[in-house]
Structure 1
Amino acid sequence: MCLDGAGAPRLTDVCVEILDGVTAVLGPSGSGKTSLLNLLIGFEAPDRGTCTASPTAGGQALAAYWVPQNFGLWPHLTAREHLRAVMPGAETDGAARIEHVLAAFDIGEKAASHTGEMSHGERARLAVARALASSAAVLIMDEPLASVDPARCGAYWRVIRSELRSTGASLVFSTHAPDVVLAEAEHVLCVTDGKLLYAGAVQDLYWRPPSEVLARCLGEANWLTCDEVALWLGMNAIPGSSCLGNGEAAARRPEPPEGRVDLTDAAPRQPARTRALQFGLSTKLGAPASSRALGLNISTDPEAGTTSPPPPGSVAPVRSAAFTRSGETLSVCLRPEQVEICRVEHSSLVVRSSQFRGAVADVELEHRETGQVRVFHHRPAGPGLAPGHCVTIRTLLSFLLLFCGAGLSTSCDRSDTPRLGVRESHAWPVPSDGTRIPAVRGIALSADGTEIFTIDTAARLLVLDRNGTLLRQWRMPESKAGTPEDLTVLRDGCVAVPDTHYHRVVVFDRNGVLRRQFGTYGTGPGQFVYPVSLAEDDKGNLYVCEYGGNDRIQKFAPDGKLLAAFGGFGTKPGEFQRPAGIVWHAGKVYVADSTNHRIQAFTDSGAFVGVLEVPGAPAGLQFPYDITIDAHQTLLVAEWGAGRVSRLGLDGRLLGRFGSPGTDMDQFLTPWGLACDGTSRILVADTGNRRIVELRL
């Protein structure tokens, strides 16, 4: 399908099918987003090709409703009359709903005002409110809320989400903001210079982009060839391969994993399962017969049928992360949250500059030996790197280590892997912090299990009831340098937080009043580099994990006196690489030795007991980030790299597993912490999905 313009085409060779749900049309100004929406609603017709857009209303009053860029408001009507004019049943029982929708968009006080008496932002909100009031089957919005105060946009998007859930409507909206796409959309169309570069799932494009250009459509990305992986990360990305792509090494190069698109020598695979958003057309190949008919099909060929293939660059919805091949080059995309840049005493990598931008920091690094310079994007808890610092780069991705021959098992469980018997699950989103939706990291329960304590990437300690309702909150004393990763509810009801980037442990009462703190920066007795997790024994002694080159456990008496220290940095038994979680039980301390992918046991005096493993039956842990013990005296482990929760016996025997990487209810993205009560309840800090998940066994 083509749409001509003055001097240059506005859209060229666009072939796409819009899917049921929420779809974002993403691109810079002038890219063709508005032109595509104009075709979708029927405001314009293509100059070549076909555009079939005939959604059926079903139970809704209207098939589709449009919010154009100029809002399309009626100057002779008041705000209240705008909603009354489109709302089904407004004359009989719509008065209360009209007032509710106006109030939700903070224009209740303007209900009797005409549009000429409203600000630009108020008119933008009224246009969206009117569309929602229409109860149309499909809402089409051209950059909704773009002119609204950013600090308030998050609340209005929550209203939109709530209305879509209650009515079952679909939404197609245009935007130039990747963060809005990530937060609100299931599917995305990337448009640039009138051409459609990508059509597919948002999560696929974010985690498994087919190219560097497409990767950057959804924000910052570290795109590395295998040579660059070897140089900057200090590892051979593909054993036995060469980035030059010639000769025997190239012949041995592994094929991309299932679902990965090779743009140079294969047509893109179609998704195995989709629900077509059909505007009166047949469903896509493989869609269930019961799929809801709500879609758009555009073709370059006037004779084309209704099942045109997706455009080049689309990818099948696969779950596992993978390297991408384009031509003879193998590359990997690492998002900022998958990279950790840590300060060390000596390294080949030196910081030239660091710009902290809140959610992401841009760090310019120089490689001493080669003189090469490049910028890495990472997501630190706060500013902390300065020019001249020596650093190392850690990738928090199990798939990268798999390609490096680290000997890990794959994230695909075998059919004989025991399952954790989860009978139901629930999820709660993390409460917003202004326009931000922080990610939850640490999670703990009160002694009676009635209150849930969490800490997030906004340095907030949140206390929720057992149903996920926010009861109270407070912030860490300082957070400019970074935010903590864990917290523990102590026997006396106080809350202890390893304040990672301030090299101390902070203790609050249950209401957030600061009670005490201890620790300073250093590697000596009682000092910390990066304290990250802690546990308490039956006598009130605290065991604190730390990493940062001084990876060890320190034991403190209730009065803060240092009693013991054990461990050290390394891979040998009794040594650690980022001890990330710890729990005490019956005279022993169990430590989640994250980067060594194992659990180690010590006596509570610090004597090494052993690595938990059963000969011939390894648990195959992938970045265990937290550990706790349940009422059955078995260990529960949150595996950051595998997106799952595993149950182990005290001997290391695998007893059950639940989850895989992803965004569905039975999946997790980089789970950071977990907690359990004395019943059959497990709570998981599903960090990458920005939610708390409750599992009932």
Structure 2
Amino acid sequence: MRRALWRALPVTTTPEGRAIVTTVLDVELISVTKRYGNTTAVSDISLRIPRGSYCCLLGPSGCGKTSTLRMIAGHEDISDGDVIIAGQNVGNLPPVKRGTAMMFQNYALFPHLNCVDNVAFGLKMRGVGKAERRAEASKLLAMVEMEKYAARLPAQLSGGQQQRVALARALITRPKVLLLDEPLSALDPFLRGTMREELKRLQRELGISFIHVTHSQEEALALADLVVVMDHGIIVQSGPPQEIFNRPATAFVARFMGGHNVIRQDSGAVAVRADRCRIGMMDSALVGAGGIGGAVCSIEYLGTVVKVGIETETTGEVVALVPDDQFFASPLTLGETTRLTWATADAHPVTL
């Protein structure tokens, strides 16, 4: 049975008595800027995060995503602009007054406290009695499937187990918004996949917004309802993950998200997904729709597909992901001249 949400969704009623769920924002950033001396880390960004969303701030190192998260949390002062959480301007409030909780990249568990007391620490700081806070901590440990490790110290836990404890500790104060700073980066690839599923499950069950900083495109696509791509301190594109991946607005987004070719043409530039491209005459129906010629410069067997790179004069290297059976039915060799083709419907313009 699903757990009850911590906060009910707002409902209005029409004159006819019909209930309508209204859209409410958990977080709104209005023209937010962060400067460190003469360096601008975040430049005049605005963002609206609806209630109950899983939002990923995505971008390369130094793009401003962590500074943005820390300004929401109150761990960094805002140089200009406003941060609104649940309808309240919190720009001048300390972190404890904002209704947020932060899960840090290094988990920051107290090494001398067992799991129950680590999770209960936030309630201890609020003056909650020992029995009550430990009972609540036990519930949170059960929620993250760590109840049987309640008496262990952090050093006796694996990385994934420590992360679950850190997550329970962040949630015990029942925040309006949970902030996560690259929480999966220290885990091995298999465990990252498992914890992605766990984070998404908890976010849906709790019904609160998660704002998750990551540099992993795969992580953002797997988790987010709202992907916010940042570069050089600005938001270059935001939207649902399918929109961001299938219709990148700029050449930067197309290249950063991966899986796209950005092809220069006389009329400008277009992005084409690599898995929608074909090589030579393997799909004659696409020949003439769009194409670019060059020499095969790389061949990588990836199991279900073969990644073929072609060096072109006008665009540099372009890539096709060819189904393995098609490739090996008519294999190419390095240095061979060929042509990359695509259907017109699979290309869309991007700004450089």
Map of 1:148 onto structure 2: 187
Q: Is 1:43 the counterpart of 2:55 in the alignment?
A: no
Distance 1:27-1:134 versus aligned 2 partners, 3 A rule = same
**CA–CA distance in structure 2, aligned partners of residues 126 and 30 of structure 1:** 29
Map of 1:313 onto structure 2: none
**CA–CA distance in structure 2, aligned partners of residues 199 and 150 of structure 1:** 26
Deviation at 1:332, TM superposition (A): 2.4
Q: Is 1:386 the counterpart of 2:333 in the alignment?
A: yes
User: Conserved in 1, the CA contact under 8 Å of 2:116 and 2:150?
Assistant: yes
Map of 2:274 onto structure 1: 336
Distance 1:55-1:77 versus aligned 2 partners, 3 A rule = farther
Find the residue that maps to 2:249 and give its secondary structure. coil
Deviation at 1:148, TM superposition (A): 0.9
Distance 1:54-1:364 versus aligned 2 partners, 3 A rule = same
User: Conserved in 1, the CA contact under 8 Å of 2:141 and 2:168?
Assistant: no
Find the residue that maps to 1:34 and give its secondary structure. helix
Match of 2:297 among 339, 346, 352: 352
User: Conserved in 1, the CA contact under 8 Å of 2:308 and 2:321?
Assistant: no
State the Cα deviation string for residues 522-549 of structure 1 (Å, max 9, x = none).
Answer: xxxxxxxxxxxxxxxxxxxxxxxxxxxx
Match of 1:73 among 84, 109, 112: 109
Match of 2:58 among 14, 18, 26: 26
Deviation at 1:223, TM superposition (A): 1.6
Find the residue that maps to 2:310 and give its secondary structure. strand
Normalised TM-score (structure 1): 0.37
Deviation at 1:195, TM superposition (A): 2.8
User: Conserved in 1, the CA contact under 8 Å of 2:178 and 2:208?
Assistant: yes
Distance 1:358-1:53 versus aligned 2 partners, 3 A rule = farther
Deviation at 1:101, TM superposition (A): 1.4
Map of 1:98 onto structure 2: 141
Q: Which amino acid aligns with 2:323?
A: A
Please show how residues 529-540 of structure 1 align to structure 2 within 5 Å. Answer: none
**CA–CA distance in structure 2, aligned partners of residues 337 and 125 of structure 1:** 36
**CA–CA distance in structure 1, aligned partners of residues 108 and 275 of structure 2:** 40
User: Conserved in 2, the CA contact under 8 Å of 1:341 and 1:392?
Assistant: yes
User: Conserved in 2, the CA contact under 8 Å of 1:364 and 1:373?
Assistant: no
**CA–CA distance in structure 1, aligned partners of residues 188 and 338 of structure 2:** 39
Distance 1:389-1:134 versus aligned 2 partners, 3 A rule = farther
State the Cα deviation string for residues 406-452 of structure 1 (Å, max 9, x = none).
Answer: xxxxxxxxxxxxxxxxxxxxxxxxxxxxxxxxxxxxxxxxxxxxxxx
**CA–CA distance in structure 1, aligned partners of residues 188 and 42 of structure 2:** 31
Q: Is 1:375 the counterpart of 2:317 in the alignment?
A: yes
**CA–CA distance in structure 2, aligned partners of residues 162 and 83 of structure 1:** 20
Q: Is 1:168 the counterpart of 2:207 in the alignment?
A: yes
- Percentage identity across paired residues of the two chains: 25
State the Cα deviation string for residues 563-601 of structure 1 (Å, max 9, x = none).
Answer: xxxxxxxxxxxxxxxxxxxxxxxxxxxxxxxxxxxxxxx
**CA–CA distance in structure 1, aligned partners of residues 339 and 163 of structure 2:** 47
Deviation at 1:207, TM superposition (A): 1.5
**CA–CA distance in structure 1, aligned partners of residues 273 and 106 of structure 2:** 36
Find the residue that maps to 1:80 and give its secondary structure. helix
**CA–CA distance in structure 1, aligned partners of residues 142 and 230 of structure 2:** 37
Q: Is 1:192 the counterpart of 2:231 in the alignment?
A: yes
Q: Aligned residues, how many?
A: 289
Please show how residues 310-329 of structure 1 align to structure 2 within 5 Å. Answer: 329=268
Q: Which amino acid aligns with 1:158?
A: E
Map of 1:209 onto structure 2: 248
Q: Which amino acid aligns with 1:37?
A: L
- Considering fraction of residues, name the structure with more helix: 2
Deviation at 1:358, TM superposition (A): 5.9
Q: Which amino acid aligns with 1:79?
A: C
Match of 2:308 among 350, 358, 363: 363
The structure whose Rg is larger is 1
Aligned Cα root-mean-square deviation (Å): 3.7
User: Conserved in 2, the CA contact under 8 Å of 1:344 and 1:391?
Assistant: no
State the Cα deviation string for residues 147-186 of structure 1 (Å, max 9, x = none).
Answer: 0111111111111111122221211100011111111112
Deviation at 1:8, TM superposition (A): 1.8
User: Conserved in 2, the CA contact under 8 Å of 1:30 and 1:193?
Assistant: yes
User: Conserved in 2, the CA contact under 8 Å of 1:84 and 1:98?
Assistant: no
Higher relative contact order (CA closer than 8 Å, sequence separation 6+): 2
**CA–CA distance in structure 1, aligned partners of residues 239 and 153 of structure 2:** 41
User: Conserved in 2, the CA contact under 8 Å of 1:359 and 1:379?
Assistant: no
Deviation at 1:334, TM superposition (A): 1.0
Please show how residues 516-665 of structure 1 align to structure 2 within 5 Å. Answer: none
User: Conserved in 1, the CA contact under 8 Å of 2:295 and 2:334?
Assistant: yes
Deviation at 1:141, TM superposition (A): 0.3
Q: Which amino acid aligns with 1:170?
A: S
Distance 1:17-1:386 versus aligned 2 partners, 3 A rule = same
User: Conserved in 2, the CA contact under 8 Å of 1:336 and 1:360?
Assistant: no
Map of 1:433 onto structure 2: none
**CA–CA distance in structure 2, aligned partners of residues 221 and 399 of structure 1:** 11
Distance 1:4-1:91 versus aligned 2 partners, 3 A rule = same
Q: Which amino acid aligns with 2:319?
A: H
Find the residue that maps to 2:57 and give its secondary structure. strand
User: Conserved in 2, the CA contact under 8 Å of 1:338 and 1:397?
Assistant: no
**CA–CA distance in structure 2, aligned partners of residues 132 and 29 of structure 1:** 27
Please show how residues 169-318 of structure 1 align to structure 2 within 5 Å. Answer: 169-227=208-266, 243=267
**CA–CA distance in structure 2, aligned partners of residues 114 and 397 of structure 1:** 59
Match of 1:15 among 46, 58, 62: 46
Deviation at 1:120, TM superposition (A): 5.2
Find the residue that maps to 1:172 and give its secondary structure. strand
Match of 2:197 among 158, 167, 185: 158
Q: Which amino acid aligns with 1:42?
A: G
User: Conserved in 2, the CA contact under 8 Å of 1:135 and 1:167?
Assistant: no
State the Cα deviation string for residues 105-137 of structure 1 (Å, max 9, x = none).
Answer: xxx664322235545554334323433555533
Find the residue that maps to 2:299 and give its secondary structure. strand
State the Cα deviation string for residues 13-36 of structure 1 (Å, max 9, x = none).
Answer: 223333341111112223222211
Find the residue that maps to 1:11 and give its secondary structure. strand
**CA–CA distance in structure 2, aligned partners of residues 52 and 206 of structure 1:** 29
